[in-house]
Structure 1
């Protein structure tokens, strides 16, 4: 993972791997949901295999929904928004380059303001 930070190709491959894993988990979560809704049996192992993914999705959605409420924004827009890092990665920039540029652009803060 750390090697991928300064190599865009490795970074993209890592993102693709996680996206593929997410698609598998999302499909499994959908099948499990359908089984439970329609009264079909579901094993504890299957429930456990998607539990962390489902908690991540619901926690993220709740956080974004609350932020949009506080900011007075439309929740659907907040849920569809992508991070600047994600957008930069989609444009071919690696994570190290993105963060270097971002940190360089931020104003320096003084540890001892007078």
Structure 2
């Protein structure tokens, strides 16, 4: 069976694009897990169970682990994710928003990051 050089090149490019897409999906899942660890599992300021922003972020994260989020400026899931993350990183002890960014409690998050890297 003979395959032309042009066809071989076309197949190789297609396989590389598929591989790059899969790597991106895995990278996105790892990044989402870091956000979950820092903002939900080990936040600097503990979240109340009834916190609607935390609940929404948890839903987005679990959805993204099942199916990757499409990226883009005008993509609604990405905008909701960004909004939830920015709200939780600027949360203060009294429930108001601050200008400083606090998003994780050091030691528990660091341990989780080391586990993920291993």
TM-score higher than 0.5: no
TM-score of the two chains, using structure 1 as the length reference:
0.31
Decide which structure has greater helix share: 1
TM-score of the two chains, using structure 2 as the length reference:
0.30
